[in-house]
A and B are shown apart, each in its own frame.
Chain A
């Protein structure tokens, strides 16, 4: 520190001491203590406290009070004035250092304007705290240009808050919608699971019946056929032989029908031969049974991109549709399409039969006794697909089932062909 400055300070302090004002001296002593402490800590470490303390001392010592002239009344008035001025000085100093405490003791008009400024800053502080708590209604109507900037900032904050609020509301709406969607999908998944289990059970039941037919009645009829053949070989009476021959023909017919019936009940070997071949094979037999029907097949896909369960569902739907045509449609022409693209596989069965008026919904369909169609719908849904029925009286019927393809299916299960 410059020794000249210290000397100057000392001179001021001496002059102040000569004024004899105890409060003033006490203030100076305190400030000098701070300066000395700062100097002891060394300027090199942190010069700011030292410089501030020195400035404070210098500020206080700059205008040491003179001995008061005049009569005692004037002296008292001047003393009050000087006290007010010193209080104002302290207040201004505190204010300049950012001290906005409402408890700073200062009286007199000379400090009034500064106190107004302090009050404005205190109110501004309160407004800032209110804004921090989310009250964006705060507006500053004093402090000139600052007010404009401050109010613009508050407006920006309010707009940002409103925008966040709107975004939150939108997110909440989307979340609610997603929750509903998830719940709906869970319900659908559970329903599909049940449907699949039921269909699985149905297939198992069909298989069991097919086996029972094969192992029971079919074997017995075959035994009957053998017995009839033996009897026929040893028969000498032409009339009896004729009767035996007729009975043998009937037994053979029953055998064929039982085999066919059991075959229809048994799941086809889709994994081994593929959907296209299974349907083609069925259509071939179907054409043989119904030679008057003009049957056209457009089988462009093998359904390799479908799971075994889905392929079986399509097979059963086509089977049910053809049986319905024979039972109800009185059609002369039937067309079957099996097509696929990258995303879905489509099966369509179309006839030119008498058609019908489709009910509005599946419940009405069940009520009207179209249980075969309801079964098709269940199978399509269980496979994650959709069944569409188009029909008009005397205009034929078109049944189309569309199921989603599983692109990786053919790569994952190359053996299922």
Chain B
């Protein structure tokens, strides 16, 4: 079995949805998305361990954020336009209710919340944050806007008892 990459991502891989789903359209139910993600996570964790799985989810989320920004957003004349558009498209596509709590373009630090998100809202309390894919996704979005590598960390999560997920973004530490 060849280890050569078979599915290098491109937006075309998502296909022509109106053509392919003329009756059902572009939407599916959230539990289906979660079913697919959590089973994938389960298998990955068993094969490569939880730490490596987190790294994979983070990387995939970042790639998704970058592609999402390039396809649906930007470029923007001002941060306000970016923030408003991001908030609007999150709501329009049922990704979640995004709200900025802090934004400092000079230091490139951001604090934002996503309520009713796709990954964790309504999950049992686990005592730890689980939105690793979202961390990557938000990092990809903000990196595309700022042009700087960022590190995004979830500091509040439904799974730690919060009713909204809170993410802190700041410039990534230079890699050794």
Given known pairs A102-B101, A119-B113, A126-B100, the reply for A113 and B127 (CB within 8 Å) is: no
A121-133, CB under 8 A of B: which get 1 and which 0? 0110110001000
Q: Is A42 an interface residue (CB 8 A)?
A: no
**A108-B78 Cα distance, complex, nearest whole Å:** 38
Q: How many chain A residues touch B (Cβ–Cβ < 8 Å)? A: 22
Residues of chain A with a CB closer than 8 A to B80's CB: 130, 135, 137-138
**Which of A107, A115, A137 touches B164 (beta carbons < 8 Å)?**
A115
Residue ID in chain A nearest B91 by CB atoms: A141
Q: Is B156 an interface residue (CB 8 A)?
A: yes
**Which of B84, B99, B102, B125 touches A108 (beta carbons < 8 Å)?**
B125
Is A119's CB under 8 angstroms from B101's CB? yes
Given known pairs A108-B125, A116-B115, the reply for A122 and B163 (CB within 8 Å) is: no
**A328-B156 Cα distance, complex, nearest whole Å:** 103
Given known pairs A109-B125, A123-B113, A135-B80, the reply for A115 and B162 (CB within 8 Å) is: yes
Q: How large is the interface on B (under 10, 10 to 19, 20 to 34, 35 or more residues)?
A: 20 to 34
Residues of chain B with a CB closer than 8 A to A112's CB: 158, 161-163
Given known pairs A102-B101, A102-B155, A108-B125, the reply for A119 and B115 (CB within 8 Å) is: yes
B105-125, CB under 8 A of A: which get 1 and which 0? 000000101010000000001
> Interface of chain A, helix or strand or loop or mixed?
helix
A79-123, CB under 8 A of B: which get 1 and which 0? 000001000000000000000001000111111110110011011
Q: Is B166 an interface residue (CB 8 A)?
A: yes
**A259-B101 Cα distance, complex, nearest whole Å:** 99
Q: Is B146 an interface residue (CB 8 A)?
A: no
Is B101's CB under 8 angstroms from A122's CB? yes
Residues of chain A with a CB closer than 8 A to B83's CB: 130
**A107-B115 Cα distance, complex, nearest whole Å:** 16
Residues of chain B with a CB closer than 8 A to A102's CB: 101-102, 111, 155-156, 166, 168
Is A107's CB under 8 angstroms from B127's CB? yes
Residues of chain B with a CB closer than 8 A to A123's CB: 99-101, 113
**A120-B163 Cα distance, complex, nearest whole Å:** 11
Q: Which of B78, B125, B162 has the most CB of A within 10 A?
A: B162
Those of A142-197 within 8 Å (CB) of chain B: none
Is B163's CB under 8 angstroms from A113's CB? yes
Residues of chain B with a CB closer than 8 A to A110's CB: 161
Q: A140 to chain B: closest CB distance in Å?
A: 10
**A107-B160 Cα distance, complex, nearest whole Å:** 6
**A109-B156 Cα distance, complex, nearest whole Å:** 12
Q: Is B103 an interface residue (CB 8 A)?
A: yes
A-B contact pairs, 29 of them (CB 8 A): A102-B101, A102-B102, A102-B111, A102-B155, A102-B166, A107-B160, A107-B162, A108-B160, A108-B161, A109-B161, A110-B161, A111-B161, A112-B158, A112-B161, A116-B115, A116-B162, A116-B163, A119-B113, A119-B166, A120-B99, A122-B111, A123-B101, A125-B101, A126-B100, A130-B80, A130-B83, A130-B103, A135-B80, A137-B81
